Amino acid sequence: MSEVAEEHNADLIIMGSHGVSGFTEVFVGSNTEKVVRHSKIPVLVIKQKPGNLNFETVVFASDFSDESVSAYIKASKILQDSSKIHLLYVNVSGENFKSTAEMEQQVANFLMKADGNMNQLNNVHYVSDYSIEKGILNFSNLVGADLIMMPTHGRKGLAHFFEGSISEDLANHANLPVMTFKI
């Protein structure tokens, strides 16, 4: 599917999905996961028949790394000024845990690279949860989000098997529409 979209110079792939779980999810995956993993253009995954596609409240979840800047810029262009965007950093215990000061510095550097200013700083939210996926879902429910947007690495092979993909898991498990951007 992503090859066809690229051949036709598409700006976005929109897919419906029922999701998969259990054995199928671990060893086979879904068609949606495969498109999210391989597509070079943004993918919008919709689980339920939408009443409308007005994305008024959007969560952009990220680790705010330098490599995520391009995804944020693409997301901002798609949304323009039509949506209230919540920038979300989910902090989990383990090797990637960051102190408040470290998170704030990373986000500040990110915003300066992406926007050239700190105007979005008041729209940044920091949450802690047991997993990044749970943190994104819980926060999205809390703010009444209409859409979750996030970058994806598109890992393949053993890296994908051992590290998994938060964006693919969200596309599979979230009831909200999820839009991914390859980094």
Kindly report the CATH number assigned to the domain that includes residue 165.
Answer: 3.40.50.12370
User: In the prediction, which pLDDT does 2 show?
Assistant: 57
Lowest-confidence pick of 30-34, 39-43, 114-118, 135-139: 30-34
Q: For residues 49 and 53, give the distance between their C-alpha atoms in angstroms, rounded to a whole number.
A: 10
Cα separation, 76 vs 96, whole angstroms: 26
- For the segment 30-41, the average pLDDT, to the nearest whole number, is 77
DSSP 39-58: -SS-EEEE-S--S-----EE
Domain that holds residue 118: 2-182
- The number of folded domains in the chain is 1
Q: What pTM does this model have? A: 0.84
Report the candidate in 105, 77, 96 with the shortest Cα–Cα distance to residue 135. Answer: 96
pLDDT, average across residues 21-41: 61
> Does residue 28 have a pLDDT over 70?
no
What is the reported pLDDT for 167? 76
Averaged pLDDT of the chain: 82
- C-beta neighbour count of 4 within 10 angstroms: 9
Instruction: Check pLDDT > 70 for residue 124.
Output: yes
For 140-177, how does the pLDDT look when each residue is reduced to its tens digit (9 = 90+)? 999 999 999 999 875 444 333 434 467 777 877 788 89
- Rounded CA Rg of the chain: 16
Q: Which amino acid is at 36?
A: V
